[in-house]
Amino acid sequence: MSTGSRVLDGIKVLDVGTWVASPAAPTIMSDFGAEVIKIEPPRTGDPYRQLPAVPGMPLSEHNYSWLLDSRNKKSLALDVTRPEGRDVLQALVARADVFVTNFPPALLARLGLTYEDLSPVNPRLVYASLTAYGEVGDEANKPGFDVNAWWARSGMMDLVRPAGAPPTISLPGMGDHPTSVALFASIMLGLYQRLRTGRGSKVSSSLMASGAWANSIFIQAMLCGATMVERPPREQALNALINLYQCRDDRWFVLTLLQEERDWERFARAIGRADLIADTRFATLKARHANSPALVKILDEVFARRDWAEWRAIMEAHDITFGAIARLEDLRDDRQMVATETFVPLEGAGIPGLLTVMSPIQVAGQSKVAPTRAPTLGEHTDEVLRAAGYDEAAIRRLRDLGVIG
């Protein structure tokens, strides 16, 4: 990646949040050149640093989640619950462009860190707030992770399962990272408004709103009074041409012929079953849907005769819409991920050849910042304070008081 001018060069961001959805928005900004200062409690740091220790998480000697979401950032260990710590934070706010937090509204009010508190310090500040359930209403201060406020509350947890199966827990960060993109978009709107008016503003998003947007087609159907159709097991699929299938080598893929009137005959010939075209059970769209379980059974037998690599080549050659159901180990050598810079090298982590996942936004003519290792707790405390005008004696005093680490 080049090191030329980037769209967010010169933008200074204070990341005063924890876990994923809020801090990942500044991570995206850092990819485009923003300077991000991560503010953490001096002794414990962001609890997100400990995520790999949670039972059931992948086992590794490396703090993979921290490497991902805290790349390119500077760590300032600062106790904002102390008056001296809030004084330091206000000094940083005076020089910042963006303040990002996911502290609940009541806590922000107690700490004197609301938009109303900080805007007088810096009228050009874009103040970004991320909550679990929004900033008003009975649940404004209710804590929640993405599995609660994004996955479960939106209805997706209930919908994404066959009839009779129990709900499934989401993967870590599955709702946090899409929500971080919503917060990033909010921040960019705030910066755009500042460009036009000269003044900052408060912007916000929530896990609940992001989850509702992710599930908005079905939610809108419900709001329109639609009758919901129960999702059957795959063997009883309502449409055999939009279904999951297993190949001879136990690899699965998803077939997605949404325009089946156009694609049906080509598909039947591609899989070597042109005889199905004239079969009265499948000759029309209505007949195929009525006899979908029978067609599923036939296709199960067909796809079980070849390995996934063979079927992939056949379907690509005949322009059939499908998707590989990737296993994690497949992604390591995914050439398309590398070609599109979805995976890029991560420098300075002490792991030769390590790749990381890049944010999902591209700007033509803009190369992103080459990711560098995530900071250790308080690694940049002195550097950040010096840049804010603190001399060595003042820094030493703050450290003696336990305000910084």
CA distances from 303 to 37, 274, 308 (A): 52, 15, 8
| pLDDT per residue as tens digits for the range 352-399 | 889 999 999 999 888 899 999 999 999 999 999 999 999 999 999 999
All residues at 6 or more sequence positions from 1 whose CB lies less than 8 Å from its CB, including other chains: 344, 367, 368, 369, 370
**Encoded amino acid at 183, one letter:** L
Ramachandran class of 72: left when φ > 0, alpha when ψ lies in -120 to 50, beta otherwise:
left
Distance CA 65, CA 50 (A): 9
Helices (H), 76-198: 83-93, 105-111, 115-118, 146, 156-159, 176-197
Number of C-beta neighbours around residue 327 at 10 A: 9
Give 1's pLDDT tier (boundaries 50, 70, 90).
very low
| pLDDT per residue as tens digits for the range 313-339 | 999 999 999 999 999 998 988 999 999
Q: Give the mean pLDDT of the chain.
A: 95
**Encoded amino acid at 295, one letter:** L
CA distances from 249 to 234, 298, 306, 309, 313 (A): 19, 18, 8, 9, 15
At residue 310, the 3 state secondary structure works out as helix
Task: Record the tokens describing residue 73, joined without a space.
Answer: 């950032």
CA distances from 128 to 30, 101, 200, 204 (A): 16, 6, 11, 5
- Give me the count of residues in the chain: 405
Give 4's pLDDT tier (boundaries 50, 70, 90).
low
E strand or H helix at 160: none
Q: What is the pLDDT of residue 241?
A: 97
Give 2's pLDDT tier (boundaries 50, 70, 90).
very low
Q: What is the pLDDT of residue 374?
A: 95
Number of C-beta neighbours around residue 382 at 10 A: 16
Bridge partners, 100 (sequence order): 15, 128
Distance CA 91, CA 103 (A): 20
| pLDDT per residue as tens digits for the range 34-55 | 999 999 999 999 999 999 999 9
Share of the chain above pLDDT 90, in %: 92
Torsion angles phi and psi, residue 247, rounded to 5: -90, 175
DSSP state of 19: S
Torsion angle defined by CA atoms of residues 52, 56, 61 and 63, in that order, rounded to the nearest 10 degrees: -20
DSSP labels, 207-218: HHHHHHHHTHHH
CA distances from 347 to 126, 265, 326, 351, 371 (A): 30, 50, 27, 8, 6
Average pLDDT over residues 190-210: 97
Number of C-beta neighbours around residue 216 at 10 A: 12
Task: Record the tokens describing residue 256, joined without a space.
Answer: 């997605």
